[in-house]
Chains A and B, each alone.
Chain A
Amino acid sequence: MWRYVLKRLGMMVFVVLGVAILVFSLMYFVPGDPAMLILGSGADPADVARLRAQMGIDKPYLVQLGTFLNNLLHLDFGVSYQYNTPVIESVKERLPRTLFLSVMVIIFQTLIGIPLGITAAVNAGKWQDTFCVIVSMIGLAIPGFWLSLMSIKVFSVNLGWFPSFGIDSWKSYVLPIVTMAIGGLSMNTRQTRAAMLEVIRADYVTTAKAKGVSAHDVIYKHALPNALIPVITMIGGSFGGALGGAIIAESVFVMPGLGLYLTNAINALDYAVVRSVVVILAVWFSMIMLVTDLVYAFVDPRIKAQYTGK
């Protein structure tokens, strides 16, 4: 097992390196001259040239890439020209908020989506099933940011229950978490339902029934653990969606997290920030996926056996 963990950690290092190179290369080709941006279009060409040299962007691509990677290693993400502060300081302050938001989205959508999916599958064909199918279909179709805006209208403006922006109290988090979880929640419901329906039809479930196991235990002791195996991967994978949701939610609800930092930077062409934020979020995402894989390997004896060398 430990060998597997080490192997996966090693692979992750390469993936993260790949992401850093990819993101750097993408941003390298961004049209426009960062030095010109900082100084304004009417700047003296000599000043621009001096700033370019100072920023190191007059060097060849490979040298710049090397510098970028080396800096990353030392957690030096450069300076935001917009705020004129080191990116790392803003990240330190903002990352926990974004992670909190996305983790809460995951928890919310998992805790509600999976039971809904089970309920639907267990009552296949009955009204509970129809209800879950319709609601999850609609939840999947509605864009999250639109739902966020509508929730502001209803719950902030009209009812005054929750604030429409900022991060003053726990109340500030309710609308972003709920509205951004709807999509993932619907996805969880649909996939859990599908997984359960497939497992319920499996032969070993019939075997369990034939043993005299009660209907309740057949579902929760025999079918569910098998259905949850694919669902675990799904939860890990939905972290990507939740991070994306958090980014958008921060923009809608004006919450000072990494997402708002990023969207502002995109609009202000503050590429040092864009680059760093993308790499940092990718590292977090990779770590979550790694944990998911490990959990997955742990719960499925068939996969576990592959890695323990039995």
Chain B
Amino acid sequence: MAEKKKAPATAKKKNQTLEIIKRLARNKVAMAAGIVFVLLFVMAIFAPLLEPYDYTLMNGKLAFAKPSLEHPFGCDRLGRDLMSRIIRGSRFSLGMGLLGVLCSLAAASVLGSVAGFFGQVADNIVMRLLDVIQAIPGILLTMTISTVLGRGFFNTVLALSIGGIPGNTRMLRAMILAIRNSEYVEAASSINCSKARIIAKHILPNAFAPVLVGAAMGIGGTIGQASMLSFVGLGIQPPDPEWGALISDGRNYIATYPHLIVFPGLMIGIVSLCACLLADGLRDATDPKLKK
């Protein structure tokens, strides 16, 4: 009995990461969304093995075929199996979403740290630059950059990530400033912690969680933006089966063959939804304030 009573006091010192994972695991919705999310990426990686048909194979007889047992999502205007095209297209959509967010966050963390760490002048320059960039509404900025860079996978990733830089930089800068001015960092520097140590031990771990949440949240939005770029004629263009390109390809047949649009759109929706749910779950699990 006596030992049992001591347990709670030591239990408080549990590993924080473990604690976060445990809390996330208890959130069934977030876990389900996370699993679907991971499965979608697995699908993208093994796309060639999973496609029931060759995604480029045309079959005139099957043009505009409605969904059936052989072709669960039906066929497009050239008789290509839509399911295979969507599976292959996940490589474009998910790839652009993931890469776009990662590049954007990488660039933003450089800019955000410069602004947050290196005093007034650097901060002013970065912030005024962001003021200018953010005066252009987000989608418009991405469209403009995409126009300049041209179509194609990597150009679009670049356009998407540049479009995301201002928002992410602001978020990171605000966070770095908040952490830098916090009392625990002051405490650390008062006991002569080196700058490098403060950054590694105090700032990064505290900045990591919100960035992770932001990234999860951003993937859904970025995939949506990518598909929109394709839709207005930028981004990835047919015959590449990016999901937005598939929608764009089928838009003229919406009245008669809606399946051409329904399925790719649902895929975008499902990915965004999972990303959103996962991000929400992560935020709840990492925000100690919500424990109470």
Q: Which residues from A are CB-within-8-Å of B268?
A: 141-143, 146
- Is A274 positioned at the interface, with any CB of B under 8 Å from its CB? yes
In B250-292, which residues have CB < 8 Å from any A CB?
Answer: 251, 254-255, 258, 261-262, 265, 268-273, 275-277, 280
B132 touches A27 (CB 8 A): no
Q: Determine how close the nearest CB of chain B comes to the CB of A19; give it in whole angstroms.
A: 5
The proximity string for A residues 226-267 relative to B, scoring 1 for CB distances below 8 Å and 0 otherwise, is 000000000000011101100110011000000000110011
A248 touches B136 (CB 8 A): no
Q: How far is the CA of A198 from the CA of B255 in the complex (A)?
A: 46
14 contacts between A and B (CB under 8 A): A16-B135, A26-B145, A142-B265, A143-B272, A144-B228, A145-B231, A149-B251, A149-B261, A239-B137, A247-B143, A248-B232, A274-B144, A274-B147, A282-B135
> Is the pair B143, A282 in contact by a Cβ cutoff of 8 Å?
no
Tell me the smallest distance from the CB of B266 to a CB of chain A, in Å.
Answer: 9
Query: A303 on the interface (CB 8 Å rule)?
Result: no
Check if B191 is an interface residue, CB within 8 A of chain A: no
Whether A266 pairs with B147 at a CB distance below 8 angstroms is yes
CB distance from B137 to the nearest CB of A (A): 3
Judged by a CB distance under 8 angstroms, whether B220 is at the interface is yes
Say whether B148 contacts A26, CB under 8 Å.
yes
Inter-chain contact B254/A282, CB cutoff 8 Å: no
B247 at interface by CB-CB < 8 Å: yes
Closest chain A CB from B170 CB (angstroms) = 11
A14 to B124, CA, bound (A): 14
- Give the CA-CA distance A20 to B141 in the complex, in Å: 13
**A14–B277 alpha-carbon span in the complex (Å):** 40
Query: Which residue of the partner chain A has the closest CB to B231?
Result: A145
Of the listed residues B129, B131, B277, B280, the one surrounded by the most CB atoms of chain A closer than 10 A to its CB is: B131
Across the interface, do A243 and B272 meet the contact criterion of CB distance under 8 Å? no
Q: Which among A40-48, A110-118, A150-158, A210-218 touches the partner chain?
A: A150-158
Instruction: Taking A18-B135, A145-B231 as given, write out 11 further A-B residue pairs in contact, using a Cβ cutoff of 8 Å, ordered by the A residue number.
Output: A23-B144, A137-B280, A143-B265, A146-B265, A150-B265, A152-B254, A248-B228, A266-B234, A267-B233, A278-B140, A282-B136
Query: Interface of A with B (CB < 8 Å)?
Result: 11, 14-16, 18-19, 22-23, 26-27, 29-31, 137-138, 140-146, 149-150, 152-153, 157, 239-241, 243-244, 247-248, 251-252, 262-263, 266-267, 274, 278, 281-282, 285-286, 289
Q: How far is the CA of A16 from the CA of B131 in the complex (A)?
A: 10
B254 touches A263 (CB 8 A): no
| Interface residue ranges, B against A (CB under 8 Å) | 128-129, 131-133, 135-140, 143-145, 147-148, 150, 220, 224, 227-228, 231-234, 244, 247, 251, 254-255, 258, 261-262, 265, 268-273, 275-277, 280
**Contact between A30 and B232 (Cβ–Cβ < 8 Å)?**
no
Give chain A residues whose Cβ lies under 8 Å from the Cβ of B140: 240, 243-244, 247, 278, 281-282
Q: Which residues of B contact A146 (CB under 8 A)?
A: 227, 247, 261, 265, 268-269
On whether A285 and B261 interact (CB within 8 A), knowing A143-B268, A149-B251, the answer reads: no
Out of B138, B251, B276, which one reaches A241, CB within 8 Å?
Answer: B138
CA distance A142 to B243 in the complex (A): 13
What is the number of contacts between chain A and chain B, taking CB atoms within 8 Å? 139
Contact partners of B150 in chain A: CB under 8 A: 31
Q: Which of B133, B135, B140 has most chain A Cβ within 10 Å?
A: B135
Smallest Cβ-Cβ distance to A284: which chain B residue: B137
Is the Cβ of A240 less than 8 Å from the Cβ of B138? yes
CA gap between A266 and B261 in the complex, in Å: 24
Decide if B145 touches A150 in the complex (CB within 8 Å).
no
Complex contact A266–B233 (CB within 8 A): yes
**What's the nearest-Cβ distance from chain A to residue B124, in Å?**
12
A132 to B141, CA, bound (A): 31
Chain A residue with the shortest CB-CB distance to B248 = A145
CA distance A129 to B97 in the complex (A): 30
Q: Are B255 and A157 in contact (CB under 8 A)?
A: yes
Q: Is the CB of A145 within 8 A of B269?
A: no
The answer to whether A29 and B148 have CB atoms under 8 Å apart is yes
Partner of B132, one of A18, A145, A157: A18
B130 to chain A, nearest CB (A): 10
Q: Are B265 and A285 in contact (CB under 8 A)?
A: no
Complex CA–CA separation, A51 to B147 (angstroms): 23
Q: Assess the A15–B132 pair: CB atoms within 8 A.
A: yes
A18 CB to closest chain B CB, in angstroms? 3
Beyond A141-B273, A142-B269, A153-B254, whether A266 also contacts B143 by CB under 8 A is yes
B96–chain A nearest beta-carbon distance, Å: 14
Given contacts A143-B227, A285-B135, contact A153 B255 (CB under 8 A): yes
Which of B138, B139, B244, B255 has the largest number of chain A CB atoms within 10 A? B139
Q: Which residues of chain A come closer than 8 Å to B255, judged between CB atoms?
A: 152-153, 157
- For B247, the chain A residues whose CB sits under 8 A away are 145-146, 149
A31 to B146, CA, bound (A): 12
Contacts of A18 in B (CB 8 A): 128-129, 131-132, 135
Closest 5 CB pairs of A and B: A244-B139, A240-B137, A18-B132, A141-B272, A146-B265
Q: Compute how far the CA of A24 lies from the CA of B228 in the bound complex, rounded to whole angstroms.
A: 24
What is the minimal beta-carbon distance from A175 to any residue of chain B, in angstroms? 13
The answer to whether A241 and B139 touch across the interface, beta carbons within 8 angstroms, is: yes
Which residue of B is nearest A263, CB measured? B232
- Check if A19 sits within 8 Å of B276, measured CB to CB: no
B148's partner among A30, A157, A240, A243 (CB-CB below 8 A) is A30
Report the bound CA distance from A141 to B33 in whole Å.
Answer: 13
